[in-house]
Amino acid sequence: CSVQLEKTYEVEATILGEMGDPMLGERKECQKIIRLKSLNSNTDIASLARKVVEECRLISPSRLPEVEQLLFYLQNRKKSAEKKEKKQIKPRDLTPFEGMELDEEANINSIDDYIELLYEDIPEKIRGATLILHLARNPDNLEELLQNETALGALARVLREDWKQSVDLATTIIYVFFCFSSFSQFHGLITHYKIGVLCMSIIEHELKRYDLWQDELLKKKKADILSNLKKEYEKALKKYHGLLTKQEQLLRVALYLLLNLSEDTRTELKMRNKNIVHLLVKTLDRDSEELLVLVVSFLKKLSIFLENKNDMKLQKTSPTLHCPKNSRRCSSGYLKYAESVSVHSWLVCVCVSGDEAQRQIAMCILYHISMDDRFKSMFAYTDCIPQVMKMLFDCGEERIDAELISFCINLAANKRNAQIMCEGNGLKMLMKRALKLKDPLMMKMIRNISQHDGPSKNLFIDYVGDLAAQIGLKEEEEFVIECLGTLSNLTIPDLDWELVLKEYNLVPYLKDHLKPGSAEDDLILEVVIMIGTVSMDDSCAVMLAKSGIIPALIELLNAQQEDDEFVCQIVYVFYQMVFHQATRDVIIKETQAPAYLIDLMHDKNAEIRKVCDNTLDIIAEYDVEWGKKIQSEKFRWHNSQWLEMVENRQMDEAEPFMYGDDGEPFLQNGDILERPDLFYSSDGIIPVDGAISPEFFTDFQNGDLLGPHGFPSSNTLSFESKHSVTPARPATAYGFRPDEPFYYGYTTSR
Return the number of other C-beta atoms located less than 10 Å from residue 88's C-beta. 11
What is the average pLDDT across 723-731? 48
What is the average pLDDT across 435-456? 94
Q: Which of 597, 617, 638 is at the close of a domain?
A: 638
Across-strand partners of 511? Answer: none
Q: What is the pTM of this model?
A: 0.59
C-alpha–C-alpha distance, residues 360 and 358, integer Å? 6
pLDDT at 125 over 50: yes
What is the average pLDDT across 304-311? 81
Same domain, 505 and 568: yes
Which of the pair, 338 or 154, is modelled with greater confidence? 154
pLDDT for 434 equals 93
pLDDT for 40 equals 72
Q: Which residues contact 707 (CB under 8 A, 6 or more apart)?
A: 713, 715
C-alpha–C-alpha distance, residues 424 and 227, integer Å? 57
Asked if the structure places residue 542 within a domain, the reply is yes
What are the tens digits of pLDDT across the range 340-360?
456 677 777 777 676 677 788
H or E stretch covering 15:
strand 3-16
pLDDT at 733 over 80: no
The secondary structure of residue 401, as a DSSP letter, is P
Asked if the structure places residue 237 within a domain, the reply is yes
Same domain, 56 and 108: no
C-alpha–C-alpha distance, residues 35 and 38, integer Å? 9
Same domain, 498 and 614: yes
What are the tens digits of pLDDT across the range 618-633?
999 888 888 888 888 8
Asked if the structure places residue 615 within a domain, the reply is yes
Same domain, 503 and 439: no
What are the tens digits of pLDDT across the range 74-117?
777 644 444 444 334 343 445 555 556 677 888 888 999 999 99
Q: Which of 638, 663, 689 is at the close of a domain?
A: 638
Nearest to 350 by CA among 369, 368, 327: 327
Which of the pair, 638 or 126, is modelled with greater confidence? 126
Asked if the structure places residue 645 within a domain, the reply is no
Same domain, 122 and 190: yes
Query: Residue type for 589, please?
Result: K
What are the tens digits of pLDDT across the range 37-71?
667 777 788 888 888 888 777 777 887 888 888 87
Instruction: List the domain range (segments joined by +) for residue 59.
Output: 3-80
Asked if the structure places residue 310 within a domain, the reply is no
Same domain, 477 and 607: yes
Which of the pair, 321 or 453, is modelled with greater confidence? 453
Asked if the structure places residue 300 within a domain, the reply is no
Same domain, 109 and 258: yes
Return the number of other C-beta atoms located less than 10 Å from residue 135's C-beta. 21
H or E stretch covering 442:
helix 440-450
Identify the band that residue 460 occupies on the pLDDT scale cut at 50, 70 and 90.
Answer: very high
C-alpha–C-alpha distance, residues 75 and 79, integer Å? 6
Q: What separation in angstroms does the CA of 655 have from each of 447, 662, 676?
A: 65, 14, 20
pLDDT at 468 over 80: yes
3-state secondary structure 639-702: HHHHHHHHHHCCCHHHHHHHECCCCCECCCCCCHHHCHHHCCCCCCCCCCCCCCCHHHHHHHHH
Q: Which of 580, 609, 638 is at the close of a domain?
A: 638
Which range has the top average pLDDT, 264-268, 591-595, 679-683? Answer: 264-268
Q: What separation in angstroms does the CA of 176 have from each of 136, 180, 196, 625?
A: 6, 7, 13, 93
What are the tens digits of pLDDT across the range 643-666?
677 667 655 444 544 444 454 444
614: helix, strand or coil: helix
Q: Which residues contact 408 (CB under 8 A, 6 or more apart)?
A: 388, 392, 421, 445
Same domain, 380 and 241: no
Same domain, 455 and 474: no
Which of the pair, 394 or 713, is modelled with greater confidence? 394
Mean pLDDT is lowest, of 318-327, 374-383, 528-537, for 318-327
Distance of CA 507 to the CA centre of its chain: 42
Mean pLDDT is lowest, of 121-135, 459-473, 725-739, for 725-739
Which of the pair, 169 or 10, is modelled with greater confidence? 169
C-alpha–C-alpha distance, residues 345 and 365, integer Å? 12
pLDDT for 230 equals 67
- DSSP E strands: which ranges in 449-506? none
What mean pLDDT is reported for the chain? 78
Same domain, 451 and 477: no
What are the tens digits of pLDDT across the range 217-232?
888 888 777 666 667 7
Identify the band that residue 714 occupies on the pLDDT scale cut at 50, 70 and 90.
Answer: very low
Same domain, 132 and 32: no
Give the total number of structural domains in the chain: 4
Which of the pair, 418 or 4, is modelled with greater confidence? 418
Nearest to 173 by CA among 208, 206, 128, 203: 128
Report the chain's terminal Cα–Cα distance, integer Å: 60
C-alpha–C-alpha distance, residues 268 and 276, integer Å? 9
Asked if the structure places residue 685 within a domain, the reply is no
Give the length of the chain. 750
pLDDT for 464 equals 94
Asked if the structure places residue 354 within a domain, the reply is yes
Mean pLDDT is lowest, of 143-147, 207-211, 649-653, 716-720, for 716-720
H or E stretch covering 434:
helix 426-437
Q: What share of the chain has pLDDT > 70, as a percent?
A: 73
pLDDT at 494 over 80: yes
Q: Do residues 713 and 707 touch, judged by C-beta distance below 8 A?
A: yes
Same domain, 396 and 479: no
pLDDT for 70 equals 81
Side-chain-side CA neighbours of residue 494 (13 Å): 7
Identify the band that residue 308 occupies on the pLDDT scale cut at 50, 70 and 90.
Answer: confident
Q: Do residues 3 and 78 touch, judged by C-beta distance below 8 A?
A: yes
Identify the band that residue 208 occupies on the pLDDT scale cut at 50, 70 and 90.
Answer: very high
Q: Does the CA dihedral 602-608-610-616 come out positive or negative?
A: negative
Q: What is the CATH number of the domain that holds 454?
A: 1.25.10.10
Mean pLDDT is lowest, of 287-301, 410-424, 579-593, 731-745, for 731-745
pLDDT for 100 equals 62
Query: Residue type for 726, please?
Result: T
C-alpha–C-alpha distance, residues 585 and 689, integer Å? 39
pLDDT at 667 over 80: no
pLDDT for 120 equals 92
The secondary structure of residue 185, as a DSSP letter, is G
